[in-house]
Amino acid sequence: MTNDTKDLVEQVRGGTSQRVRAAARLMSLIENFPERIPEFLVGAADWPEARMVIGLTGPPGCGKSVLADRLITALRTRSPDSCIGVIAVDPSSPFTGGAFLGDRLRMMRHAGDPNVFIRSAATRGHIGGLVLGVKAFIRVLGLAGCRTVLIETVGVGQNETEIVNVADFVVVAIAPGNGDAIQLLKCGLMEVGDIFVVNKADCDGAAQLYAQLLAVLRLNANGQKTGMPETCLVSALQRRGIEKLVDLFEKRAAGSEQVWQARRRQTMVDEVKAAVLEEARQRLSRVLGTGPIATQDLSRILRGEVTVTGFVDELIQKMTGSREDKKNYGQAG
C-alpha cells in the first residue's frame, strides 16, 4: 500500500474523530482507481471483517431502498451496539457519465446515527448490477467496524447477477405490477435468490404474486436437491413482515461465519479478474483513441481491409510499442 492509503487505514482503524471521513476517502480511492483494488484486498488480510454480507436485488421500483431502510432499523434495534454498513448502487449514464444516486434518500432517517455508514455508488460503466471494487468497499466497512453489510444493487433487469459472488446470501425482492407469472420463469434474477421477498403487500396483486412465486419455486426445487429458498411477504411501507425477514437472516448467519469468510476469500479472485479486465479495456481504448482518427481506423474493418481479430492484434502491438511514451496513446492509429 502507498503511504496515502496507509495513513487513511490507520485513521479508520484507530477510531479517531476522522474515522468516518478516512473510510469514505478510502472508498473514493477504490472507485477512482480500480487498478489499486488488489492493494486493498491484499492489505486487508488482518482487518476486522463483517459477520454477514447481505445482497439485496430486484427490479427498479420494487422497493429495495425502503426495504433497506426498514432492515437497518430492525437490525439496529436487535443489536444496538452493532454497526451497519450499506452500499447502495445506482446506474451511471452511459451517455454523460453522470449519475443520480437516489437510494439513500429513503434511508435519511439514519443519517445522524453514528452506527450506520451508508455509501452510494454509481456503476461507472461496470456491468453486473454492482460497482467495480465492491469487495474492497466491504472490507473498508468491516475495518470501520461494521458487523453487517447490506448491498443494494441497481434496479436489475434479468441478467445482473454479480451479487451472487459478492454477498453471503441474496435477497431477491419483487413487487406486484411488474408483469405476469411468466416473468418468474425467466432466467437470471430468479435463479440468484436465497430468500425471495414479495414487497408491497399493501398493494393489489401481492397475494397473487406470492402464490405464483411459491408455485414457481416449488417447480424449481423438484429438479434440484438444494430445496426451496425461503420466502416472505412484506410491506416495507407499512413495516409489516420485516421482523420475520430479519429472523431468516439470523437463521442463516448462525454458525456460518467461518464458511462465509472462506467463501469470500475464494471469490476474491473474481474481483481481481474484473480489475484486470478493466485496466486492459482502458489501455486498449487509450490506444484506439477517440474522434475522427479512431473512426477512420475502425472503418478499415468495415471495408474488409482487416478483421476484428487482426485489428485487436494491431492495437496490442501499438500498446506494447508505446508503453515507454504514454503521451502517444491518444494519437495512436
Question: Buried b / exposed e across 138-168, counting CB within 10 Å, b at 16+?
Answer: bbbbbbbbbbbbbbbbbbbeeebbbbbbbbb
Residue of 192, 203, 189 lying closest to 236 (CA atoms) = 203
Q: Are 201 and 234 in contact (CB under 8 A)?
A: yes
Q: Does 331 bind another protein (CB under 8 A)?
A: no
Applying CB under 8 A, among 15, 77, 105, 310 the residue interacting with another protein is: 105
Applying CB under 8 A, among 111, 182, 254, 308 the residue interacting with another protein is: 111
Applying CB under 8 A, among 6, 14, 15, 32 the residue interacting with another protein is: 32
**Residue with Cβ nearer another protein (42 or 185):** 42
Within its chain, how far is the Cα of 5 from the centroid? 23
Q: How far is the CB of 292 from another protein (least distance, A)?
A: 19
Q: Does 326 bind another protein (CB under 8 A)?
A: yes
Q: How far is the CB of 99 from another protein (least distance, A)?
A: 5
Question: Buried b / exposed e across 205-237, counting CB within 10 Å, b at 16+?
Answer: ebeebbebbeebbeeeeeeeeeeebbbbbbbbe
**What's the rounded Cα separation, in Å, for the pair 150 and 152?**
7
Query: What contacts 76, CB < 8 A, 6 or more positions away?
Result: 82, 84, 110, 113, 115, 116
Stretch that binds another protein, among 57-65, 67-75, 91-99, 175-183 (CB under 8 A): 91-99
Residue recorded with cell 420475520:
244
Q: Does 25 bind another protein (CB under 8 A)?
A: yes
**What's the rounded Cα separation, in Å, for the pair 81 and 64?**
25
Q: Strand 116-122 to strand 146-152: parallel, antiparallel, or no bridges (unpaired)?
A: unpaired
Q: How far is the CB of 282 from another protein (least distance, A)?
A: 7
Which residues between 237 and 296 bind another protein (CB under 8 A)?
Answer: 282, 286
Q: How far is the CB of 285 from another protein (least distance, A)?
A: 9
Stretch that binds another protein, among 116-124, 168-176, 183-191, 247-255 (CB under 8 A): 116-124
Q: Does 325 bind another protein (CB under 8 A)?
A: no
Which residues of the shown chain bind another protein in the complex (CB under 8 A)?
2, 4, 17-18, 20-21, 24-25, 27-29, 32-33, 35-36, 39, 92-93, 96-102, 104-105, 108, 111-112, 117-120, 122, 124, 282, 286, 326-327, 329-330
